[in-house]
Structure 1
Amino acid sequence: MTGIIEADYVIVGAGSAGCVLAARLSEGGKFKVVLLEAGGDDRPTKNLGQFASNLMIHIPVGYSSTLKDPKVNWLYQTEPDPGTGGRTHVWPRGKVLGGSSSINGLLYIRGQHADYDGWRQLGCEGWGWDDVAPYFRRAEHQERGGCDWHATGGPLNVSDVTTKHPVSDAVIEACEQAGIPRNDDVNGSSQEGATYYQLTVKNGQRCSAAVAYLHPAMTRPNLKVETNALAGRVLFEGRRATGVEFTQNGVKRVAMARAEVILAGGAINSPQLLQLSGVGPAELLIRNGVPVIADLPGVGENLQDHYVMSVRYRLKAGVVSVNEQSKGGRLAGEALRYLFQRKGLLTLSAAHIAAFCKSRPDLVGPDIQFHILPATMDLDKLVNEQKMELEDLPGLTIAPCQLRPESRGHIRIKSADPAEYPSIFANYLADPLDQEVAVAGLKWARKIGEAPALSPYVDSEINPGGEFRTDSQLLDYARLSGSTIYHPVGTCQMGHGPMAVVDAQLRVRGLDGLRVVDASVMPRLVSGNTNAPTIMIAEKASDMIREAARAPVAA
C-alpha cells in the first residue's frame, strides 16, 4: 500500500453535500481537507471520449443524456420490485464531481416547512424549519432578489426559466380551473399551487454543487481533491474513525483524518461504505465476511424514494411541443439560439410546471407534486428499456408523484468488494396509503389535462387511456408504468431509537470521529426535489463541524 495522505477532515463523496463541505471546511485556511470522489472531473477534458459527456453536464438540457451515460453515471439497478410488477428500476447517480447535482433535472425545491418541523418532532433537535431556513438562504443567490424567504449572494444560483411555452402557460390556467391556485413562489410561505419551476442555472449553464462550491475552492492549498478514488472502507482505531482506505488507478491508498471522517456518498453509497467498514446490521456483515465494528441495524434501512407516473396527451396538429423542437432544423435553430443568447430549448430543465396539491381536502399541506412538460417520451422504451427518447408527434406529459411515501426499502451489500454494487430494494407502493395517493395523483392529472384552458391544445389522452377508469385499474397502471424520479433518501437516518444511525449532530452513533452528511440522514423524505435540501444539510453540518473543532476535548 502506497500514498498516504494526511488531513484534518477526509470527506468521501464529491456530490451535492461533499462539495459544500469541502468548500466550507477549507475556508480561512485553518483546516486541511481531502475530498475523495470515485468518479472523474466534471469539467471539459482533452479526452474526446469524455469531452462530450462532460459538455452535456453543463448544458442544462444535457440531463437527458447524462441520466443514461455510464461515463458520468453509476446507473444502479434495483432488485425486482414486487409493487411494480416485478420490474427492476435504473437509479441514476452522479459519477463525477458534483455528484447527482451534475446530472439532475435542475429543479430548485426546498420542501414544506412542516417537513423539517416533523424531523424535529422525530428527535432531530435543531432541524425544524426555523433552524434550517437560514441555511437555505445562505446557500442561495436568488436572481429575483432577496425577500423574507430568499437571499442573494450565496453560491447556488437560482433562476427563472429563460423561455416559456404557450402550452405550459395554459397548464397553469388549467391547474387553476382544476382547483390548484397559481403560486409564483412554491419555495416561499406556502407550497400549494402551480407555477414555472425555478432552476439551478446561471447564465444558461448548470449550476451544480461543483460549479457553485467546489471549483472556486480548488485553488486553495489546504484542499486536495482526489478523483477516481473509490473508497473501500473506513479505518478505525478501536471505536474511532481515523481514515479511509481507497483505490485510485489500481493502487490502494490511505487518507488519514486527524479530526473526522465525513461520509457524503448519498443514500446508496454512504450505507454501503459503512457496511463495508463493519458498521451496520451484524448479521449482514458477518454473512459477507466483514468484521463487525458496530452493530447498527438501521444502516441501509428506511430507504424512501419518490415514485412518479405519467399521464400523457397527444397535442393537436400544428401545436409545436418539445418533441418537434428537438429534431431537425428546429433543433439547429435552438442550438444557435443557445450559442448566442444562452436561451431556448437547450436551457430546458426536466419539467416546466410545478404543481402541488392535496390528495384529500382535509390534509394540512400538499402530498402530490407534478412535473409537467410539453413533451412526451416513448413510454414503452422508457419503462421497458429505461431509454429517454422523445416521440415524433407533439405531446404533453403531466407526471404526479406522492411527496411523502410510507413504503420503505433498503440498501445492503452483496459482498465485501467495494466495486460490487449493493442490493437496492425500492419496495414501491407497498403501503396502502401510497397506493391511494398514486391513484389520486392520476385522477388529478386527468383533471388538469381535461380542463378548458388546455382544450385548444389537447387532442386526446394517450396514457393511461380510456380502458383505465376505476381505482383498481388506475393502480394497475401506476404499478406497471411508474418509476423513480431520482430522490432516494433515509438510509442513515438521523434521530433517536434503535434504527437511528446518526444523532442530531450527524455523528454516527457509538463511534467517534465519524459523521454522515448527505440525503441518507433524512429521517423522512421531504416534499419535493432533494438537491436543495441536501445542500442545506451540508451547509448546516459545516457549522456543526467547525463548532465542534472549537470545543475543548474532554479529559
Structure 2
Amino acid sequence: MSGPIAAGSVEQFDYIVIGGGSAGCLLANRLSRDPSNRVLLLEAGTKDRYPWIHIPVGYLYCIGNPRTDWLYTTEPDAGLNGRSLRYPRGKTLGGCSSINGMIYMRGQARDYDNWAAITGDDAWSWANVLPAFKAHEDHYRLDAGADPQTGGNGRFSDMHGHGGEWRIEKQRLRWDILEAFADAAVQAGVPRTADFNGGDNEGVGYFEVNQRSGWRWNTSKAFLRPARRRKNLSVWTEAEVERLVIEPGADGGRRCVGAIVMRQGRRLELRARREVILSAGAIGSPKLLQLSGIGPAALLAAHGIAVTVDLPGVGANLQDHLQIRSVFRVTGAKTLNVLAGSLLGRMRIGMEYAFTRSGPMSMSPSQLGAFTRSDPARPHANLEYHVQPLSLDAFGEPLHSVPAFTASVCNLNPTSVGKVEIRSPRPGDAPAISPNYLSTDADRRIAADSIRQVRRIVGQPALAKYSPVEWKPGVEFQTDAELARLAGDIASTIFHPVGTTRMGADGDPMAVVDSHLRVRGVAGLRVVDAGVMPAITSGNTNSPTLMIAEKAAAFILADAAARR
C-alpha cells in the first residue's frame, strides 16, 4: 500500500493539522497562538498564488482546474436519472474558501439547537455557537461610521462581530433584473430582510460576501497570513497524507500518533506529541480514516485493510444541497450574458474591475438570495434561492448567448443521504461519492413545489416589464411526477457536502466523533471540518465550518491545559 519511510525523516510536532482548507487554516492560527505549541499544517495542494483565486469571478476558472480542484465526480445517481455530477473540492491553501461562492451564511438558529439535541451537548446550541461565529468576524456594518441597520433579533452588534479575521462586506454591483426579482418575491409573500444571519434567515435580500475591497478573502489570507511569522508554525504544501499512524495506547486502546506523508518525492513519518486533527473535508476526511483502518469493517475488509476500529458511520450520512436551476429569457434587461458576449464588453468589464474593484468581475456566483417556505404550512423557511443575472448550462461552461437570468432553488433540509467510500487501498485513488439525491418522496415533492414557487414569483407584476419566458425547464412540465423527474434531469450540487464523520451522543452507533470532535475508539485524533455536522445547516456551509473550527480550537486547548 505504501513504500518505505525515508531514512532520518521522522519529525515531531505537538499538533499536526491535516488539510489547509477553511477549518485547517483557522485551527493552525489558534493552536499556534501559544508559542509553546509546535504546530504543523499539511496541505496536499499548492500555495494560493494562482491569480484567479483572488479575483471574485475567478471561481469560473478554479472549478474544474486541477491546479485548484480535486476534480471529483459523483457516481451515477438514480435520483438524477443516472447522471454523474462534477463535485468540486478546493485543492490549495484556503481549500474551498479559495474556490467557493464567497457567501457569508450561518444558517438558522434551529439548526444548532438541533445539533445540541442530537449530541446531548448544549455547547452546540445557537446561544453557544453565536460567540464562536462572532469571534472571528469583521463585519463591514460595524466599521466606524457605518450604518448597521438591524441585527434581526436585536442590535446588530449583538449578532455580529468586528475586528476579527473573517471579513464580511456588501457586494459591489447592482442589477435591475435582480431588483425586479426581489420586488416580485415580496409581491409573492416573501418579506424583505436586511440580515440573513440573525438566526432566522427567512426573507429576500442581497447576500453578503467574504471579500475585502473587491478581492476574495479566503481563509489562507485571513488566518494563515498573520500567523506565518510565528516560529512555532510550519506550513507544508504539496504534502499528501497517505494514512494515519495508529498504535496501541497506554490504556490498552488505540492512539493516533502521527501520519505518513508524501512530500517532494519522499515518504515521511510525522509524529504528534498531543493530537492529530483531520481537517480534510467531508470527502477527504472519511477517505483518510478508511485508508487508516477506521471505518465500516466490511468495506475495509473488501479492500484488504486491517480493521483498527469498526466505525460504520465513517463515510455515511453524506448530505448536500441540490439546486434546481430555472432559466428565464428576458427582454430589455441588462444581463451578464449580453455584457460579456463581445470582446468590447469583456474589455469594459475588465477595466471596471481594474480601476474600481467593482462590476461583474467582483461578483460572487449569486448576488440576490431568498429564504422561504415550499408551502405555507411549514414552520420555517426550507428553501434557499440563488438568483443570478446570467445563465449557463453549468459553472465552468460558457454563458448562454441570449439575455437571461437564473433562479436556482434548493431544499435546505434534504432527507436523502448518501455515502463516501474508498475504491481501493491506494491513497491516490479518488473515493466513490454517492449523494443519493432525490431518493425520498419528501425530497421529490419539495423539488416539484419549489419549481412551482419559482414560477409564481416570476409571474408577479414586478418582472412583467422584462417579459420573462421560462426557457429551462419549460412550462410543458406541470405534474408532480413530471417535475420530480425534471429536477433529476437539471438539478446540480451547490457544493455543500457535510455529515460523513458526524458527531453524536454516547451510544449512537453511527456517530464517528463525540461532541468535542474526538474520534470514537482512537485517542489523540479529532475531525474538524464540515463532515462532523450531524445535520446540514439551512444555508451555505463555509462559515459554519469556521465556527466548528473555532469551537474545536477551544476544546483542544482546554484539554491540553487540563493535562498540564
Q: TM-score when scaled to structure 1?
A: 0.95
CA offset at residue 30 of structure 1? 2.2
Deviations 1:348-402 (A, max 9, x none): 101011100011222221110000011111x3xx3xxx74221111111001000
Matching residue of 2:150: none
Asked if residue 274 in structure 1 is aligned to residue 289 in structure 2, the reply is yes
1:366 to 372, 381, 399: 381
2:452 to 443, 454, 459: 443
Instruction: Choose 224-233 or 210-219, whichever is displaced more.
Output: 210-219
Separation in 1, partners of 2:11, 2:85: 38
Separation in 2, partners of 1:552, 1:210: 31
Deviations 1:139-158 (A, max 9, x none): 21100115221111110100
CA offset at residue 236 of structure 1? 1.4
2:55 to 42, 55, 59: 59
2:25 to 19, 24, 37: 19
1:4 to 10, 20, 27: 10
Asked if residue 322 in structure 1 is aligned to residue 322 in structure 2, the reply is no
Deviations 1:17-67 (A, max 9, x none): 000000110013121100111100002xxxxxxxxxx11000001111111
Deviations 1:83-108 (A, max 9, x none): 11111111000010000110001111
1:98-497 alignment, distance < 5 Å = 98-125=94-121, 126-145=123-142, 147-238=157-248, 239-316=254-331, 318-327=332-341, 328-377=343-392, 379=393, 382=394, 387-496=396-505, 497=508
The question of whether the paired residues in 2 share the 8 Å contact of 1:313 and 1:458 is answered with no
Q: TM-score when scaled to structure 2?
A: 0.94
Considering only aligned residues, what root-mean-square deviation do their CA atoms show, in Å? 1.1
Amino acid of the structure 2 residue aligned with 1:284: L
Separation in 2, partners of 1:523, 1:234: 24
Asked if residue 505 in structure 1 is aligned to residue 523 in structure 2, the reply is no
The question of whether the paired residues in 2 share the 8 Å contact of 1:140 and 1:156 is answered with yes
Amino acid of the structure 1 residue aligned with 2:257: T
Separation in 2, partners of 1:459, 1:448: 11
2:73 to 74, 77, 81: 77
Instruction: Choose 470-479 or 195-204, whichever is displaced more.
Output: 470-479
The question of whether the paired residues in 1 share the 8 Å contact of 2:317 and 2:502 is answered with yes
The question of whether the paired residues in 2 share the 8 Å contact of 1:325 and 1:345 is answered with no
Separation in 2, partners of 1:458, 1:106: 31
Amino acid of the structure 2 residue aligned with 1:159: E
Separation in 1, partners of 2:324, 2:434: 19
CA offset at residue 281 of structure 1? 0.6
CA offset at residue 124 of structure 1? 4.6
The question of whether the paired residues in 1 share the 8 Å contact of 2:257 and 2:272 is answered with yes
The question of whether the paired residues in 2 share the 8 Å contact of 1:140 and 1:153 is answered with yes
Identical counterparts, % of pairs: 43
The question of whether the paired residues in 2 share the 8 Å contact of 1:305 and 1:525 is answered with yes
The question of whether the paired residues in 1 share the 8 Å contact of 2:176 and 2:333 is answered with no
Separation in 2, partners of 1:335, 1:387: 19
Separation in 1, partners of 2:467, 2:340: 20
Separation in 2, partners of 1:464, 1:299: 37
CA offset at residue 189 of structure 1? 4.3
Separation in 2, partners of 1:110, 1:68: 27
CA offset at residue 335 of structure 1? 1.1
| Secondary structure of 1:144's aligned partner | helix
Amino acid of the structure 2 residue aligned with 1:86: G
Residues 350 and 425 of structure 1: CA distance in aligned 2, closer, same or farther (over 3 Å): same
Separation in 2, partners of 1:16, 1:64: 20
| Secondary structure of 1:456's aligned partner | helix
The question of whether the paired residues in 1 share the 8 Å contact of 2:175 and 2:334 is answered with no
For structure 2, which runs of at least 5 residues remain unmatched after alignment? 143-155, 249-253
Number of residue pairs aligned between Structure 1 and Structure 2: 536
CA offset at residue 458 of structure 1? 3.3
The question of whether the paired residues in 1 share the 8 Å contact of 2:61 and 2:396 is answered with no
Deviations 1:301-357 (A, max 9, x none): 0000000011111010x4220112223212211211111111111111010111000
CA offset at residue 481 of structure 1? 0.5
Residues 189 and 424 of structure 1: CA distance in aligned 2, closer, same or farther (over 3 Å): closer
Separation in 1, partners of 2:396, 2:211: 25
Amino acid of the structure 2 residue aligned with 1:504: S
Matching residue of 1:31: 37
